Structure 1
Amino acid sequence: MNWSLLRLGGFRALWSGRLLSWIASGIGPLALAFAALDLGAGASGLGLVVAARSVPNLLLILFGGTLADRLPRRTVAIGASALSALSLAGMALLLATGMATLPLLAVAGALNGIGAAYFAPATSAMLRETVGDDLVRDATILNRVSMNIGLVLGTAGGGGLVGSFSPEIALAVGSLLFTGALAFFAGLPRASFVSPRRVSFARDLALGLAFVARTRWLLWTLLLALLGQLAFAAGVQVLGPIAADHSFGRTLWGFAGAVQTVGLVFGAVLAGRIRGRLRLAIASLGVAGMALPLLILALVLVVHYGVVDPLHWFFWLSVALFAASVGLELFTVPLDVTIQLQVPRTYLARVYSCLTLATLAGMPLGEVVAGPLARLVGAPLLLTGLAVLVMLAAGAVALSPRVRRADSALVAPGPVPR
């Protein structure tokens, strides 16, 4: 990886601000959940408080991308960071003064989710502005590494702060991190790219969606991201704990999840070593790796307990989760690079908002359908079906002529297919 890029002032400010923001984004939801539990929330109340943050993020992400394509992206990033910092500080203050209630936590969580919806598209679209086209590939890899490390540190650090101190302390630390990110974003050059506003906001939003729909390589890869996250959420997040209880237990399930997050970091580093030698079509096959843990979990549920040592299942599941994370990163990095270099700057933030929406929407969809489908066909068959779906989708995208030619202009002259 080209760490020398951090010598560039604009990229260093963007990279550092995103790193602090991702750490804070890992702390915030975890501390919010435990704060709700401390206020006596049951499963339903906790679900409502958590949803109060995630639903606005999901609903407003397209608006965030459109706004970032109309206004200076530096301004949008600063505003989103300020809103996120204030929302976490407000939660911490409410808890510290004893004034917190579940509805108030939900409102503060919703404000935090709104900030996240505007932060991601704006900061992703600024990358090309800070380094130029020639260094986009290296900058993308460093951004992915910072995001994965930030989320790991945020989740682990948030748990440590909540366990050692209290949720309000964790929320206060998250607020300070967002404030630090705001300061870095304020140091970005003011001459950021701004699209001329010739049409209304609604028209800009519609034009962005139409661009994604007619740019077929982009549409197919976004659908692949959606299906991959849907299958993974349904199989691993919902049915995975059931399989763990059936075999190796809850403690080892947590360790397997930690291995999965390490795979994300390793995958980004590996993508950095491969650099431009991995084309988008081949990288799409990396999503097929997400089928591996689904198949292992199906076997855990099918094979009678005691026939296979539970520790063996834990080992192979950990390997599969690690491989799935690596494969996902090997797909995401070339996709990010292709988007940065092939999508016109006037559409960049809206395209990234669509990519984020595809990823975010896939998870709740998978979590919702997992239970009813498992009752209908059985968990092992559902897991196998999801694995087959992911492999077929990855293969179809990899074989698509439009996807295979999508990044051809990055290695040879020629028009981008649509």
Structure 2
Amino acid sequence: MVHDTARSPSVLRSTAFLRLWTATTASGIATWALPFVLGLAVLSRSLTAVELGVLLAARTAGFLAAVPVSGVLADRYARRQVVLVSGLTSALAAPVLAMSVGGSLVVAGLAAALMGAGQGACRPAFQALTAEVVAPDQRQRANAAMTLSVRVTTLVAPGLTALLALFLTTQVLLLGIGALWLVAALVPPAGTGVVAGASGSGFVADFLDGVREARRHPWFLAGLGALTAVIATGYSATGVVLPLVSRDRYGTEAVLAGALTAYTLGALAGALLIARWRPRFVGWTALFGLALYGFAPLSLLLPVHPFVVVGAYVVAGLGIELFNVPWFTATQREVEPSKLARVSSLDFLMSYGLAPVGLALIAPAISAFGAAAVLVACAVICFAAPALAALVPSSRDFAPRT
């Protein structure tokens, strides 16, 4: 049984939500653009490949360090202020990075770390601010609208940025990223939540209080474990094995480009679908969508037609948004509002924070066990982890059983 809701799309006409949507979209574009622009700098010989690796590692370190700090601060103080400070941090770091690219690697690394910190700090604050700005019955549509903007950006921005790079220098493009962070910092609306202020406890105690809140929701722990497993394996297969298969098996980069484009198109379709669809068992539907990512590594295992690989990535993209939107919506609904930013920071820290570990391990694993064995393991984990999470009773609805 499926419920197709016909609720009024008032969230799309809300000035507060449109400001929030604009800010999150700007932060999403800026987050995506930084590694792409730095990659273009390698092509123009402004950076070496080693320097690019150092800057991206610094950015990731800044992100991971800032996420738990932001979660605590965004539960202590106004979420809008945390977004302002994190956005301004990245905006101010952008011109420093622009001036130091091709010069001092130490200064550039510090600037990249600050931009990563700003990126990481805004994520849990934005999640909590969404719960303040958007009414509960409109949050699924709001979350779908925000993820749609991210997917459209991923689809359109590479070509547009490459075109701009023909006329603009790396430094100017980095300044443009800083301008996007200014939008992310200054445009969001004020939230409606009550400011708790300093708790009197230390940072670690406050963060552990957020962990305890997460543990109160078995569906959250199960879903987070499944998401972390899928990202660490399925995403790693996409990042490492897909380019190799495209080059060695098919002899062209077109399969790589086609699969990544197909993934984005599938995600767009998934976001459009879940914006209006209300499954009867939303948690099981979301976990089923997450498991669909298993078809991505599975398609790389055998010498199938390239269209099969492309089709598998369409399915994987559709499935990931069938998971993401209900997952964010349920977290905003079920978690204690005063602890929402800390729980969201735990979400980002575990899932996306551990993704680099999977990327670092998959190449040695391929060398030790072979690509086929690694792909089989990735596919099995992608299918099995969500299935195991679905066995937790409260996972059926991403809510306590009543």
Q: Could you say whether these structures have the same fold, taking a TM-score greater than 0.5 normalized by the shorter chain as the test?
A: yes
The Cα of 1:67 is off from its aligned counterpart by: 1.1
The Cα of 1:408 is off from its aligned counterpart by: 5.9
2:202 counterpart residue number:
200
The Cα of 1:17 is off from its aligned counterpart by: 1.0
My pick for the range that moved more, 30-39 or 53-62, is 30-39
Give distance in 1, aligned partners of 2:160 and 2:317.
Answer: 21
Q: How does 1:55-204 map to 2 (within 5 A)?
A: 55-94=61-100, 100-185=103-188, 188-189=189-190, 191-198=192-199, 199-204=201-206
Q: 1:375 to 1:190 in 2, by over 3 A?
A: closer
Q: Which AA in structure 1 matches 2:314?
A: F
- Kept in 2, the 8 Å contact 1:162–1:169? The answer is no
1:366 counterpart residue number:
358
The Cα of 1:376 is off from its aligned counterpart by: 2.1
My pick for the range that moved more, 174-183 or 217-226, is 174-183
Q: Which AA in structure 2 matches 1:242?
A: L
The Cα of 1:65 is off from its aligned counterpart by: 1.0
1:304 counterpart residue number:
none
1:305 counterpart residue number:
none
Give distance in 2, aligned partners of 1:277 and 1:214.
Answer: 23
Listed one character per residue, the Cα deviations across residues 302-333 of structure 1 (whole Å, up to 9, x for unaligned) are xxxxxx6xxx2x21111101110111110111
Give distance in 2, aligned partners of 1:145 and 1:74.
Answer: 23
2:3 counterpart residue number:
none
The Cα of 1:257 is off from its aligned counterpart by: 1.1
Q: Which AA in structure 2 matches 1:125?
A: A
- Unpaired segments ≥5 residues, structure 1: 301-307
The Cα of 1:151 is off from its aligned counterpart by: 4.0
1:21 counterpart residue number:
27
Task: Indicate whether 1:31 and 2:52 are aligned.
Answer: no
Identity of aligned residues (%): 27
Give distance in 2, aligned partners of 1:327 and 1:117.
Answer: 25
1:221 counterpart residue number:
223
Q: 1:339 to 1:190 in 2, by over 3 A?
A: closer
The Cα of 1:281 is off from its aligned counterpart by: 2.1
TM-score (norm 2): 0.91
Give distance in 2, aligned partners of 1:155 and 1:275.
Answer: 33
- Kept in 2, the 8 Å contact 1:84–1:111? The answer is yes
Give distance in 2, aligned partners of 1:277 and 1:143.
Answer: 23
The Cα of 1:244 is off from its aligned counterpart by: 1.1
1:243 counterpart residue number:
245
The Cα of 1:22 is off from its aligned counterpart by: 1.2
Q: Which AA in structure 2 matches 1:245?
A: R
2:56 counterpart residue number:
50
Question: Which secondary structure does the structure 2 equivalent of 1:406 belong to?
Answer: coil
Q: 1:191 to 1:332 in 2, by over 3 A?
A: closer
- Kept in 2, the 8 Å contact 1:281–1:399? The answer is no
Q: 1:184 to 1:78 in 2, by over 3 A?
A: same
My pick for the range that moved more, 209-218 or 365-374, is 209-218
- Kept in 2, the 8 Å contact 1:138–1:275? The answer is no
- Kept in 1, the 8 Å contact 2:141–2:276? The answer is no
Q: Which AA in structure 1 matches 2:105?
A: L
Q: For 1:345, which of 328, 332, 337 is the aligned residue?
A: 337
Q: 1:294 to 1:356 in 2, by over 3 A?
A: same
- Unpaired segments ≥5 residues, structure 2: 1-5
Give distance in 1, aligned partners of 2:42 and 2:364.
Answer: 28
2:394 counterpart residue number:
402
Q: How does 1:276-291 map to 2 (within 5 A)?
A: 277-291=280-294
Question: Which secondary structure does the structure 2 equivalent of 1:299 belong to?
Answer: coil
1:354 counterpart residue number:
346
Question: Which secondary structure does the structure 2 equivalent of 1:275 belong to?
Answer: strand
Q: How does 1:295-374 map to 2 (within 5 A)?
A: 295-300=298-303, 312=305, 314-374=306-366
- Kept in 2, the 8 Å contact 1:64–1:122? The answer is yes
The Cα of 1:214 is off from its aligned counterpart by: 4.1
The Cα of 1:87 is off from its aligned counterpart by: 1.5
TM-score (norm 1): 0.88
The Cα of 1:113 is off from its aligned counterpart by: 0.3
- Kept in 2, the 8 Å contact 1:88–1:171? The answer is yes
| Number of equivalent positions | 394
Could you say which structure has the higher helix fraction?
1
